[in-house]
A and B are shown apart, each in its own frame.
With several copies, the nearest count.
Chain A
């Protein structure tokens, strides 16, 4: 498809601006005055609409395709949540920061407060900040809270421990927070090697970051022990909430021994992924870390009025402008109150049921390196198909031609040719059965006609793309 700039015609307009009702101001002085207008597209509203409508149709999405992308929790995003978010469109966040302005924002502030309370209950934490703008941003915020905690205690610590199966954001976030990383390998049973973990621990470890269930979809039976060991070294336990969808109402990270947790609202709490964002990554903490939470904080005074605290001395400061990705929080809040206690439990139960169902159905066709009851996702390996020259990526492309978004491939890194499937609770049995049939077809075709798999996809707007050329030429801005 042509670029919008290639459809551009000099002098064309896509929107008519309001007429001015004030006199024109004298122009800016030279030097400050732009001489050449920015080369934006010049198209009519129809051109614009047709361009982006047709662009949208080049995408797979949850609303059009089963999207079992492991570790991303691509559940269905209820439409009423979108409508709820629109209700808050007119409100300026600065109002709340003006003298006496809080009075005019009680709805928004109260919702943030309530959302924090509910997330605290779900995660077993004592208080939550809703400011972080994404999961990784929550991780960074969480580790900064831990650093503030250690600093306040006078601890000098320089390491953060992560298992080798962790999300890449874990070590990257801890690095921004000023720590060096110690990586602990996974044991053959699929969890972080307990012995090697013990060896990695020392008084210089500030935090241990874990996902539980881990990225293999397995619940670590030693998790409590790990927490105890970490605490015995004065380290705090960080819970990466990416996989929270598996355990709502079943187990609370706070009860297990975690001190800090972030939650991905765009995963567990049903807000859409937006083609890469926005998400939101609220962070919950145990009591000892409350003084360090980012500001402004929202408190409820004795009369039930929600007030802002903007100057708490111990705070790590501001993690972002204003109140975080507010519109995402509206959606998550509505999701939680709509599903309620039983609904959230059911979400986790059916997410786990679905993953186990797919795991059992596909086991005869794909290697399953860690053959256990899984939680919300399961990780296969295409190693058997590799014997025929077919890689995990080829299976992925084969699925695309049949209308399925591929599972996550090549993650976690500890599984060779990994195929990580997370169906989520919102998919029906029929949808999963159809997917399973195609996965089986892929396995069979990999044996009988491997080239057919290697040639996929054939039905998409483009076939396989030259990523090397892209990286080499770095053509990231249209120069026409």
Chain B
């Protein structure tokens, strides 16, 4: 009976409990299920011990290749994670708690999320932040839906320079809603502002851009914000949080809703998740925000404390009228983001951003020195940039992977007429030696 130590009862205890429950067997408790509905098969393999389970998982992990020098990004970035992040987010009281519905016994989570919201506000230059969304892509979709609610309009304009994954997710979210999504094709790796001007009208709820964009280019969004606001729409920007160490914040640029993926803030690559999405906005829009929000208040003795607030926006209260369907979010990943940002700190985040850019600029110069390779010159970049090879990128990438280098993301799958284009990412973890290796390996393939 006691096959698993995760079901602790002994046969004696089960007998006692059955007698209280007035049943002669556990099976009897399943009597409410009509016999004809009962499962006829159940093909899960037999269980195993913890030791065997872990050995199996090690074997699976060993079927991946760990020895890969990453010059790839595209939404997830290979950044340092200070040891404190694992140690502190690994405190059982954080990771085995639930959503802090009972604030008196959840002040740890609540205060941390309040601090997280503050960190996001300060990093993005926005006034209010929620307590996390799923990831950067769904955060774009949530921001778009938020703009639809705020403006009461029905169209979303998306810059084609936004990550193709984010654009796909946005379209999925809006798949069956009475909303039109208009995409503007990139122009030399930048937003085509003329095309945008042409489609800005009274139906447009929001314009969604990304900065730096998928090609790595950084744009000054301030003029764009004016243009968008003049049309009565909101400007939504997806940003790379580490880059905000040196790039003017979306708040300062006039953005209305800033979103992004928090993976780079202390969350491991982990084959794509979990990560978290952040969403910060001007305070005026707070009641239209999706997701949990933590607010400061006082207890009945006047002592400071924190609670989930503005819950009247949420699904467990408002059901189909909620601002979002989010219930579980990515609280623990947001906590990791907070710990990361607090470890790196005010000066450190600027240093870290500079280090990324320095490495990327070095790599850019090295790669540009390879005969036949050119760099997309449109705009300054942060830690990603686009190069054009003298021949199609895909087979070159496939070849370098075999040598243990992931040299970048070919754009072929995402943009037309871009077979030779490659987006190269260089984080602070990449050494000069690795960059030089990439250069030589690439040179040899071309």
Question: What residues of B have a CB within 8 angstroms of the CB of A425 in the complex?
Answer: 6-7
Given contacts A278-B330, A322-B272, A353-B21, is CB(A347)–CB(B83) below 8 Å? Answer: no
Q: With an 8 A cutoff between CB atoms, is A31 at the interface?
A: yes
A346 touches B3 (CB 8 A): yes
Would A56 and B94 be within 8 Å (CB), given that A18-B51, A477-B118 are in contact?
Answer: yes
Q: Which candidate, B64-72, B186-194, B228-236, is the interface stretch facing chain A? A: B64-72
The CA-CA distance from A10 to B2 in the complex, in Å, is: 12
Given A49-B84, A276-B99, A425-B6: A319 touches B11 (CB 8 Å cut-off): no
Query: In the bound complex, do residue A61 and residue B97 qualify as a contact, i.e. CB atoms below 8 Å apart?
Result: yes
**B320 with A342: CB separation less than 8 A:** no
For residue A169, CB closer than 8 A to chain B, the reply is: yes
- In the complex, whether A451 has a CB less than 8 A from a CB of chain B is no
Contact B410 A347 (CB under 8 A): no
CA distance A327 to B330 in the complex (A): 12
Closest to A160 in B: B320
Q: Is the CB of B175 within 8 A of A148?
A: yes
What residue of chain A has the Cβ atom nearest to residue B141's Cβ? A176
A45 near B84: Cβ-Cβ < 8 Å: yes
What B residues does A22 contact at CB under 8 A?
A: 358-359, 361-362, 432, 435
Q: For B26, give the chain A residue with the smallest CB separation.
A: A349
Contact digits for B78-116, partner A, Cβ 8 Å, 1 yes 0 no: 101011101110111111111111111111110111110
Q: How far is the CA of A85 from the CA of B36 in the complex (A)?
A: 39
Proximity bits, B9-50, A CB within 8 Å = 1, else 0:
111111011101111001001111110111111111111111
CA distance A121 to B284 in the complex (A): 48
Interface pair B295/A59, CB less than 8 Å apart:
no
The CB with the most chain B CB atoms within 10 A, among A38, A78, A104, A463, is that of: A38
Given contacts A28-B247, A168-B315, contact A83 B54 (CB under 8 A): yes
Contacts of A372 in B (CB 8 A): 32
Chain B 213-236 near chain A by CB (<8 Å), digits 1 or 0:
000001010100000000000000
Give every chain A residue within 8 A of B333 (Cβ-Cβ). Answer: 274, 277-278
Q: How far is the CA of A27 from the CA of B248 in the complex (A)?
A: 12
Tell whether A188 is near chain B: CB-to-CB under 8 Å.
no
Q: Which residues of B contact A107 (CB under 8 A)?
A: 60-64
Chain A residue contacts of B82, Cβ below 8 A: 14-15, 45, 79-80
> What are the interface flags for B135-165 relative to A under an 8 Å C-beta threshold, 1 for contact and 0 otherwise?
1111000000100000000000000000001
Asked whether A414 is an interface residue with its Cβ less than 8 Å from the other chain, the reply is no
**Which one of A15, A34, A91, A338 contacts B47 once the chains associate, using CB atoms below 8 Å?**
A338
| Cross-chain contact A357 with B319 (CB below 8 angstroms) | no
A303 → B minimal CB distance (Å): 15
Contact of A92 with B78 at beta-carbon distance under 8 Å, contacts A22-B358, A56-B93, A464-B299 already known: yes
**Chain B residues closer than 8 Å to A326, beta-carbon distance:** 270-274
Chain B residues, Cβ within 8 Å of A48: 84, 88, 339, 342-343
Task: Assess whether B345 is in contact with A42, with CB atoms less than 8 Å apart.
Answer: yes
Q: Tell which of B199-207, B305-313, B369-377, B438-446 binds the partner.
A: B305-313
The complex places the Cα of A116 from the Cα of B26 at a distance, in Å, of: 29
What bracket does the count of chain A residues touching chain B fall in? 35 or more
- Report whether A294 and B172 are in contact in the complex, using a CB–CB cutoff of 8 Å: yes
Interface residue? B398 (CB, 8 A): yes
Closest B residue by C-beta to A118: B44
Which of A197-205, A328-336, A383-391, A440-448 lies on the face that meets chain B?
A: A328-336
CB–CB B6/A45 < 8 A: yes
Q: Mark B401-425, 1 if CB is under 8 A from A, else 0.
A: 1100010011001000000000000
- Of A91, A397, A467, which one neighbours B66 at CB under 8 angstroms? A91
A99 close to B410 (CB less than 8 A): yes
B269 within 8 A of A: yes
B107 touches A461 (CB 8 A): yes
Question: B314 interface residue, CB < 8 Å from A?
Answer: yes
Q: Residue A144 contacts which of B129, B134, B172, B286 (CB distance < 8 angstroms)? A: B172
B378 within 8 A of A: no
Distance A168 CA – B101 CA, assembled complex (angstroms): 15
Q: B347 touching A11 by the CB < 8 A rule? A: yes
Report whether A221 and B34 are in contact in the complex, using a CB–CB cutoff of 8 Å.
yes
Cβ of A23: which chain B residues have Cβ within 8 Å of it?
358, 362
Complex: A359 Cα to B17 Cα, angstroms: 11
B76 surroundings in chain A (CB, below 8 A): 92-94, 321-322
Distance, CA A400 to CA B105, complexed state (A):
7
A53 nearest in chain B by CB position? B92
Is A187 in the interface zone, CB < 8 Å from B?
Answer: no
Instruction: Assess the A99–B295 pair: CB atoms within 8 A.
Output: no
* Contacting pair A272 B344 (CB below 8 A): no
Chain A, Cβ-Cβ closest to B138: A320
Whether the Cβ atoms of A477 and B129 lie closer than 8 Å is yes
Judge whether B255 is part of the interface by a CB distance below 8 angstroms.
Answer: no
Contact between A255 and B39 (Cβ–Cβ < 8 Å)?
yes
- The number of residues on chain B lying at the interface, defined by a beta carbon within 8 Å of a beta carbon of chain A, is 226
Bound-state CA distance A5–B26 (Å) is 29
Provide the residues of chain A in CB contact with B112, threshold 8 Å. Answer: 52, 55, 275
Within 8 Å of chain B (Cβ to Cβ): is A154? Answer: no
Which of B37, B347, B357, B398: most chain A Cβ within 10 A?
Answer: B37
Task: Determine whether the beta carbon of A16 is less than 8 Å from that of B4.
Answer: yes
Instruction: Report B-chain residues with C-beta under 8 Å of the C-beta of A312.
Output: none
Q: Nearest B residue to A270 by beta-carbon distance?
A: B6
Check if A278 sits within 8 Å of B380, measured CB to CB: no
A92–chain B nearest beta-carbon distance, Å: 5
Answer yes or no: B198 CB below 8 A from chain A CBs.
Answer: no
Question: A58 — which chain B residues lie within 8 A by C-beta?
Answer: 93, 105-108, 111
For A8, what are the chain B residues with a Cβ–Cβ distance below 8 Å?
A: 346
B72 surroundings in chain A (CB, below 8 A): 92, 94-95, 98
Q: Mark B321-336, 1 if CB is under 8 A from A, else 0.
A: 1101111111111010
Any B CB within 8 A of the CB of A452: no
Closest residue to B379 on the A side, CB-wise? A32
Q: Which of A39-84 contact B (CB under 8 A)?
A: 39-49, 51-53, 55-65, 67, 69, 72, 74-80, 82-84
Is A310 part of the binding interface, using a Cβ–Cβ cutoff of 8 Å?
Answer: yes
Q: Is the CB of B53 within 8 A of A356?
A: no
Question: Does A307 belong to the interface (CB within 8 Å)?
Answer: no
Q: Is the CB of A100 within 8 A of B398?
A: yes
C-alpha gap A87/B64 in the complex (Å): 10
* A297 at interface by CB-CB < 8 Å: no
Nearest CB of B to A262, in Å: 12
Tell whether A323 pairs with B271 under 8 Å between CB atoms, given A3-B115, A82-B87, A277-B333.
Answer: yes
A79 and B327 CA atoms in complex are apart in Å by 25
Across the interface, A172 reaches (CB within 8 A) one of B128, B315, B394, namely: B315
- Name A171's contact: one of B2, B295, B320, B342 (CB within 8 Å): B320
Q: In the complex the two chains form, what is the Cα distance from A338 to B60 in whole Å?
A: 14
Note all chain B residues with C-beta closer than 8 A to A49.
84, 87-88, 92
Whether B98 and A134, one on each chain, are in contact in the complex, defined by CB atoms closer than 8 angstroms, is no
Question: How many angstroms from the CA of A137 to the CA of B309 in the assembled complex?
Answer: 22
A134 touches B329 (CB 8 A): yes
- Is A466 at the interface (CB under 8 A from chain B)? yes
Instruction: Tell me how far the C-beta of B151 lies from the nearest C-beta in chain A, rounded to whole angstroms.
Output: 18
Contact B31 A373 (CB under 8 A): yes
- Tell me, in angstroms, the Cα distance from A272 to B286 when the chains sit together: 29
Closest Cβ of chain A: how far from B417's Cβ, in Å?
17
17 new A-B contacts, CB < 8 A, other than A58-B111, A134-B329, A321-B75, are: A3-B115, A52-B88, A61-B97, A62-B97, A93-B273, A98-B409, A175-B325, A294-B172, A317-B175, A321-B261, A334-B53, A353-B29, A462-B303, A469-B298, A470-B307, A476-B294, A477-B122
> A-B pairs with the 7 shortest C-beta distances?
A340-B47, A322-B272, A107-B63, A93-B272, A274-B332, A178-B176, A276-B331
Give me 11 A-to-B residue pairs in the complex whose CB atoms sit less than 8 angstroms apart, sorted by A's number: A9-B10, A59-B105, A105-B64, A118-B44, A133-B330, A136-B325, A275-B99, A321-B75, A321-B169, A350-B14, A463-B104
